[in-house]
Structure 1
Amino acid sequence: MTTVGLLYPGHAAEDDFPRIEVMIDSDIRLPLFHTVTDGDSRGVEALRAAGEPERLAAGVEELRMAGAEALIWATTGGSFVRGWDGAHDQVAALARTAGLPASSTSFAFAHAVRELGATRVAVAATYTEDVAPLFAEFLEAADLEVITTESAGIATADEAAACDAERVKELVVAADHPDAQVVLIPDNALRTAAYIPELEERLGKPVLTANQVAVWEGLRLADRRVWAPTLGTLFATREPPPGIDEHRGIEVRE
């Protein structure tokens, strides 16, 4: 049994995680614990506030009681808005509080792109035009080349959660570029687990989505590799490509 604890802000697409648990069809548990948010806004200040240390720490004890072996801050925006260094400090504080390896969805994207042996990405962002570029800056700090960034201008988690598969497909197609090796969809408020292979078939390249990479990152931190092609190319590789370093998350045990 491997247990990855997920801290998730508010309520939007959290039902993606039990769906992923079923799709993996193994002895994997993904207990999820909600953190408090100030309403539904996804402006920069609201995203920063969602990731304040005291809000994250509030869910850690329950997570530890659930037997988690790794901890993921299961939001993209609540991490990358702090920049590379700020996001690192954020998960370092979580690791110290929990005494567990910790990471976030933003770092999960950076690690997952490297797992696929890629360096050039396109970003299909639901965020508004002032927020989406901050994710591109985060990726560039991870030495990835962002070819294009498409912004859908969605300002709330509820609006993002209401997007159906066709809306997501439209966004992904609009964001894709021939030079991009991978397309990223950085929004944990989107339900995407059920149709990632369909997105990949349409584009002819790997697609990484927020809830998918969050789970993958947690399993990686727990030293557990899972074969689940229904979750896309990321879960259909058993070993990293030659020459790709295994990036560890932040691990602080006290």
Structure 2
Amino acid sequence: MWQPDGWSERRIGVLTPHADVNPESEFNAMAPDGISIHAARVPLAAYKPGGIMNATIADDPVRAFADPPLVDDAAELLASAPLHAIVYAFTSSSYVRGRADDAKLRQRLETRTRGIPVVIPSAAAVAALKLLDATRLALISPPWFSAAMDEKGARYFEDSGFEVVHNGPAGLPSDQQAIRPSELFEWVHTHTPKSADAVFIGGNGFRAVGIIKALEDALGIPVLTANQASFWQAIVLAGSQVVIAAYGQIFSHRPPSDRA
């Protein structure tokens, strides 16, 4: 008799750059019935009105995005809603600031979220790769990452214990709104070396979750993306037992409860 009204028993928050619609779009695509997505927007200097972004993002606005007070205030405001987990949806600051800063950032934000757990995408990806027993990683960055930022991403994963057998920005248009799944699929499929035993597509603003299954079928190895790895960790921290089958092998594994 009643029509669906969108009410959910598990609610996941997302802290996203103010003009980036991709994190919540991909989370909504992956979310089954019973899980809802609720976003808060944080200013990022690399954006212009209408979602137009600098063709190459400089390190300074990326680093500043994770600085207090703006993201901390946004986390506190978002946490005033009855949420069960919050994702900090910004991969590139991990690359620029380093692995040790991720733990500090999570702890800092969690002091403002009333105990609601916070997920950091790159740290979630490391946890996922370890559960998948991956050792040799193909790292694909968005085309708006500079070569230097991509190299910092490679060092992030090397410092986490992985061998990076390929890294580089994807050779696609440097425009979030111009990314097409078919073109990204071909790029990743062509540029993933046979020595890789996993792929990570970084960048929460990089439209990628729709090609995960097709890539895993074509490559025969696990494929992770920033939003998928974050969502994987967030749903467990939120206390959900849902089964997600279409967005990668990682959803058949449960994240460890200890994220230290």
Relative to the length of structure 1, the TM-score reads: 0.85
- 2:6 is matched with none
2:197 corresponds to 1:190: no
Q: 1:218 aligns with which of 210, 234, 239?
A: 234
Shift of 1:230: 1.2
- 1:243 is matched with none
- For the pair shown, which has the larger CA radius of gyration, 1 or 2? 2
Alignment of 1:106-145 (within 5 A): 106-126=122-142, 127-145=145-163
Shift of 1:22: 4.8
In structure 1, stretches of 5+ residues that fail to align are: 241-245
Alignment of 1:151-230 (within 5 A): 151-152=169-170, 159-230=175-246
Q: 2:65 aligns with which of 45, 50, 60?
A: 50
The answer to whether the Cα contact below 8 Å between 1:128 and 1:153 also exists between their aligned partners in 2 is no
Shift of 1:26: 2.7
- 2:95 is matched with 80
2:36 partner amino acid:
R
2:117 corresponds to 1:101: yes
1:196 partner amino acid:
I
RMSD after superposition: 2.2
Shift of 1:219: 1.6
Alpha carbons of structure 1 residues 48 and 165: separation in structure 2 relative to 1, 3 Å: same
Instruction: Name the structure, 1 or 2, with higher relative contact order (CA <8 Å, separation 6+).
Output: 1
1:165-214 CA-to-partner distances (Å, cap 9, x unmatched) read: 12211331243111211111001112223232112222222111111112
Q: Which stretch of the first structure deviates more once superposed, 80-89 or 215-224?
A: 215-224
Alpha carbons of structure 1 residues 73 and 19: separation in structure 2 relative to 1, 3 Å: closer
Alpha carbons of structure 1 residues 11 and 82: separation in structure 2 relative to 1, 3 Å: same
2:26 corresponds to 1:8: no
In structure 2, stretches of 5+ residues that fail to align are: 1-8, 48-53
**% identical equivalent positions:** 26
1:110 partner amino acid:
V
Alignment size in residue pairs: 241
Relative to the length of structure 2, the TM-score reads: 0.83
Hey, what's the Cα distance between the residues in 2 that align with 1:80 and 1:128?
11
